[in-house]
Amino acid sequence: RITQMWILLGLGLVKLGVIFIAGRLLDRTGRRPLVFVSLLGCAVSFFIVAMSFIGAVPSEVGAIVGLALYLAFFSIGMGPATWTIASEVFTTSIRAKAMSLATFANRATATIFASSFLSVATAMTWSGFFIMMTVVCLIICVWMYIYLPETKGLSLEEMAHYFAEITGDRSILDVEGTLNRRDVDQLNEREQEILL
């Protein structure tokens, strides 16, 4: 039990340390590169864990190394970048509601995954489950390559214009403009009241 505690403590420290590194890298390198490194690293990590269950690598050491690599690679990109990107891609007029929905979807998916993990892994075999997770990471990487925009260095207004252009939907810009004009009008009215 003491050995397990030290392994868990070490894994937690790996994750914590990499999160600090990711925080510094997100604005320097951009979100896309970190997401791709993260997904590819997670895929390799899952493959190492799968091989440890097959017996291709030493079982305990392979599983622990694979898990440590997974925590590190997840924490460098998919962990922090997911929330950063989600908060950036929604325009200010819908950001609060959209982030609520995104958070709900994230937590619901995590709950379903955590609740079904043991059943699915037992039904598929442990190695089969981790090979499936390797494939899932690679599919998500391809999907992100096609659809994920780089938001590094863009203001929220620039991103709203960018998404309006690529989707051909300028209605959100009209809503944003109306809200901004209303805010300016309210500020002007308050200034006039103060001056009187």
List, for residues 105-133, the tens digit of each pLDDT value. Answer: 999 999 999 999 999 999 999 999 999 99
Query: Average pLDDT for residues 30-54, to the nearest whole number?
Result: 93
Q: Report the alpha-carbon distance of residue 164 to residue 124 in Å, rounded.
A: 43
Q: What is the pTM of this model?
A: 0.77
If you compute the radius of gyration of the chain from its CA atoms, what whole number of angstroms results? Answer: 22
Residue 179: pLDDT band (50, 70, 90) is low
Given a contact cutoff of 8 angstroms between Cβ atoms, the answer to whether 43 and 137 are in contact is: yes
| Closest-CA residue to 25 (of 35, 10, 13, 39) | 35
Q: Report the alpha-carbon distance of residue 7 to residue 14 in Å, rounded.
A: 11
Predicted local confidence at residue 163, as pLDDT: 75
Positive/negative CA dihedral, 11, 17, 19, 21: negative
pLDDT tens column, 56-101: 666 788 888 898 999 999 999 998 888 888 888 877 777 888 899 9
Sequence-separated (6 or more) residues with CB below 8 Å from residue 86: 98, 99, 102
Positive/negative CA dihedral, 167, 83, 159, 176: positive
Tokens 């493959």 belong to 47
As given in the structure block, the two tokens for residue 189 are 């009215």
